[in-house]
A and B are shown apart, each in its own frame.
Chain A
Amino acid sequence: MTWLNAILQGILLGGFYALFATGLSLLFGVMGIINLAHGDFAVIAGYVAVVLVPSTHLPMVWGFLVVVPIFALGGYILQRTLFQAALSRGDPLTILLVTFGLSVITENALLQAFTANGQSLDIGGLIADSINPNNVISISDVSLAVLIVAVVLLAALQLMLSRTSTGRQIRAVADDREAAELVGINHRHVFGIAAAIALATVALAGLASGMITEFAPTTGTSNLLFAFEAVVIGGIGSLWGTLVGGIVLGVAQQIGAQINPAYQILAGHVVFLAVLAFRSRGLFAVREAA
């Protein structure tokens, strides 16, 4: 029963990783951007909520109504300015260095403004609520909600990509930018929309991490590594792959932790490297690695 619990906790954790990795997967899959500042963006979302939400008199759980639009707009602007300037250089290293620079700037600016102390988003008694089918298994309502949000979000994104005109444009630009340009798509605008979606999802992930656990200016980097693992395990360009990748990683970590708490993260790495060794393009790869 403890093992069943470990697997269930792993699936819940995987939901969080998938939510965290969605934006990364989009940026990687559509623009070929390896966003090293992704984890830090999520941390910014937490601090934005801490600063802005109290003044709106909304409960913290509804904080996403404030933070997500800000991040979507910020994502569009960031893509149209700095990221586009970096992509125009035609060298994948440029964007890597730009996002690396943003990561260093963000972490240290947050340190300067908010100190290194951990913070969390106060959602009151909700955090303690859980479903307890028996005395071993305990499913936290918040974690379950995060998993559901991740699944709904990925389903909605998948539908948007496959059914709507904007989605078709995003896929077209991801497949072949020049050909998409030839049929009249403004790839800069489409990239902007993809970045807006990516940043909106990372805002959700940042808020979720603030509710489930703590965040501090430097916590972004470790979450970033897990998000990368989820994306690569699932396969670049596949949103369902990202969900499966997140869950595979979460379950591996929880089973590792069940064997020995010190092995939690290592178990995730081992599974990641095994996937690389046997299916180097991920479980659900739909296109060549960037």
Chain B
Amino acid sequence: MSAASGLLPQDALDGPGALRVRRSARPSGWLVPLALGVVVLLAFMPAIVSTGDTSLLINAFVLLTISTMWNLLAGYAGMVSIGQQAFIGLGAYAVVVGAINGMEPFTVIPIAAVVSALIAVPISMLVFRTKGGYFAIATWVVASAAQLVISSITSIGGGTGHPVPGLSSLSPTQFADISYWSALAVVVVALAMSYLLLRSRLGLVLAAVRDDEDAARASGARVVLARHVVFLVAALGCGAAGAILAVSQLQVEPASAFSVQWSAEIIFVTLIGGMGTMEGPIIGTVIYFALQQNLAQHGAWYLIIVGAVAVVVAIWLPRGLWGTLTRRLRFEFFPVGYLVAPGRREARAPAERGPEPQPAAAGDR
């Protein structure tokens, strides 16, 4: 990640007597073929399951995408947003605007993501003036303001919403398949992007900030830059997810695209699975959809159970399911963290050493 380079001074981890730092999980080379296998299997899903099931999977991919983005913000960068629906809605409306102007709706998806990220630049300048609880509320207000502004533009349907034109040339099967593959592509890119981002220097800065922000700043980590990058990436991902929603549902309404309900689902999914782990949102999404499929016929009771699960997990399982499990197993599908162990000089290749070993400081700690 070029944006992340230079976030930390080069000598932070080098130098004589430095601690030995390695990835937090066991080496797991077989996971790459496994991940590829899962993606290939998912890609063939439209040939295996019904259209109803693929549209359910599209919704799951959308939820997983936005939860992964929120997890980057809250779980890794410590910024709890209640306003990611702003970027979901903006992404969805970018598709509407593109399609009205004669563009192919599916090709607008990446453009919608970029538009969302661009709009996030001025928003970040405003909301970054706040932190903690203020930040959460500020993002919520921004999302509500975005909804009201979009609702007041009559050429894109105002408060009642607008259909997505330009999709009638596709047959229903073609449309269902392309929607599904687009959603799959977005979620795979979102997961891969987070993984690479967290393994880059930027991920290291975020880990340092999470452990001790003052110490991270004092050692020269560019904390504010890192947060801006994460905020823009999260807007990019949520914009893409919103664009998927727009094309797959053929219709965008401000009240649902910008609904604070998105934040509720995101928070539930991420915290149940385990915030600050990449696996958490995946497990949370599976649980959320399992609950929904099995309990939705009970109406309000289903959401009462969801709320109760949230309370119980928050208090008695604060690391979430995966976070609790991974500490026991010392295993991660996505090793993005670090373990710090006392360094042994012979374990370090000469090229990785600091400028000049100083005997007095070079011993084991």
Query: Which A residues have a C-beta under 8 Å from some C-beta of B?
Result: 28, 32, 34, 82, 85-86, 89, 91-98, 100-105, 107-109, 111-112, 221, 225, 228-229, 232, 236, 262-263, 265-266, 269-270, 272-273, 276-277, 280-281, 289-290
Q: Is B156 engaged at the interface, CB distance under 8 Å to the other chain? A: no
CA distance A277 to B125 in the complex (A): 9
Q: Residue among A100, A277, A281 with the most chain B CB within 10 A?
A: A100
Closest Cβ of chain A to B76, distance in Å, is 13
| In the A-B complex, the 4 residue pairs with the closest CB atoms | A104-B307, A101-B310, A105-B307, A101-B311
Q: Is B12 engaged at the interface, CB distance under 8 Å to the other chain? A: no
Q: From known contacts A262-B152, A289-B130, infer whether A269 and B141 are also in contact, taking CB-CB under 8 Å.
A: yes
The 8 Å CB contact of B300, one of A82, A103, A108, is A108
Q: Is B129 engaged at the interface, CB distance under 8 Å to the other chain? A: yes
Q: From known contacts A86-B314, A102-B307, infer whether A112 and B300 are also in contact, taking CB-CB under 8 Å.
A: yes
Return chain A residues, CB-CB under 8 Å to B145: 266, 269-270, 273
CA distance A273 to B152 in the complex (A): 19
Is there contact, CB below 8 Å, between B132 and A92? Answer: yes
CA distance A112 to B307 in the complex (A): 14
Is there contact, CB below 8 Å, between B138 and A104? Answer: no
Q: From known contacts A225-B140, A228-B140, A273-B142, infer whether A102 and B149 are also in contact, taking CB-CB under 8 Å.
A: no
Is there contact, CB below 8 Å, between B318 and A98? Answer: no
Within 8 A of A (CB), among B272-309: 275, 299-301, 303-304, 306-309
Closest Cβ of chain A to B250, distance in Å, is 26
Taking A101-B310, A269-B145 as known contacts, 17 extra A-B pairs with beta carbons closer than 8 A to each other, sorted by chain A number, are A82-B311, A92-B133, A94-B315, A94-B318, A96-B80, A97-B313, A98-B310, A98-B314, A100-B267, A104-B307, A104-B310, A105-B311, A112-B301, A221-B260, A266-B149, A272-B141, A273-B142
Q: From known contacts A34-B133, A108-B304, A269-B148, infer whether A97 and B311 are also in contact, taking CB-CB under 8 Å.
A: yes
CA distance A24 to B315 in the complex (A): 21
Return chain A residues, CB-CB under 8 Å to B126: 273, 276-277
Main secondary structure of the interface of A (DSSP, over half): helix
The 8 Å CB contact of B138, one of A109, A221, A276, A290, is A276
Query: Which B residues have a C-beta under 8 Å from some C-beta of A?
Result: 74, 80, 126-127, 129-134, 136-138, 140-142, 144-145, 148-149, 151-152, 260, 264, 267-268, 271, 275, 299-301, 303-304, 306-311, 313-315, 318
19 A-B residue contacts at CB 8 Å?
A: A93-B314, A94-B315, A96-B80, A96-B267, A97-B314, A98-B314, A100-B307, A105-B308, A108-B300, A109-B300, A109-B304, A221-B260, A262-B151, A265-B148, A266-B145, A269-B141, A276-B126, A276-B127, A276-B129
Is there contact, CB below 8 Å, between B134 and A289? Answer: yes
Return chain B residues, CB-CB under 8 Å to A270: 145
Main secondary structure of the interface of B (DSSP, over half): helix
Return chain B residues, CB-CB under 8 Å to A94: 314-315, 318
Return chain A residues, CB-CB under 8 Å to B307: 100-105, 108
Chain A residue with Cβ nearest B313: A97
Q: Residue among B271, B309, B313, B314 with the most chain A CB within 10 A?
A: B314
The 8 Å CB contact of B275, one of A86, A93, A107, A221, is A93
The 8 Å CB contact of B318, one of A91, A103, A272, is A91
CA distance A221 to B140 in the complex (A): 11
Chain A residue with Cβ nearest B127: A276
Chain B residue with Cβ nearest A277: B126
Return chain B residues, CB-CB under 8 Å to A103: 307
Chain B residue with Cβ nearest A278: B129
CA distance A105 to B311 in the complex (A): 10
Return chain B residues, CB-CB under 8 Å to A262: 148, 151-152
Q: From known contacts A34-B136, A89-B318, A266-B145, infer whether A100 and B264 are also in contact, taking CB-CB under 8 Å.
A: yes
Chain A residue with Cβ nearest B129: A280
CA distance A95 to B149 in the complex (A): 32
Is there contact, CB below 8 Å, between B134 and A265? Answer: no
Chain A residue with Cβ nearest B82: A36
CA distance A130 to B307 in the complex (A): 43
Q: From known contacts A97-B310, A101-B307, infer whether A111 and B300 are also in contact, taking CB-CB under 8 Å.
A: yes
Chain B residue with Cβ nearest A282: B134
Q: From known contacts A225-B140, A228-B137, A276-B129, infer whether A105 and B315 are also in contact, taking CB-CB under 8 Å.
A: no
Return chain A residues, CB-CB under 8 Å to B303: 104-105, 107-108
Is there contact, CB below 8 Å, between A273 and B138? Answer: yes
Chain A residue with Cβ nearest B315: A85
Return chain A residues, CB-CB under 8 Å to B132: 92, 289-290
Q: Residue among B134, B303, B310 with the most chain A CB within 10 A?
A: B134
Closest Cβ of chain A to B65, distance in Å, is 21
Closest Cβ of chain B to A259, distance in Å, is 12
Return chain B residues, CB-CB under 8 Å to A276: 126-127, 129-130, 134, 138
Is there contact, CB below 8 Å, between A289 and B133? Answer: yes
Is there contact, CB below 8 Å, between B260 and A93? Answer: no
CA distance A265 to B258 in the complex (A): 15
Return chain B residues, CB-CB under 8 Å to A272: 141
CA distance A263 to B140 in the complex (A): 18
CA distance A93 to B310 in the complex (A): 12
Is there contact, CB below 8 Å, between A232 and B134? Answer: yes
CA distance A134 to B300 in the complex (A): 49
CA distance A95 to B318 in the complex (A): 11
Chain B residue with Cβ nearest A116: B300
CA distance A103 to B268 in the complex (A): 12
Is there contact, CB below 8 Å, between A93 and B74? Answer: yes
Closest Cβ of chain A to B342, distance in Å, is 28
The 8 Å CB contact of B310, one of A28, A32, A100, A112, is A100
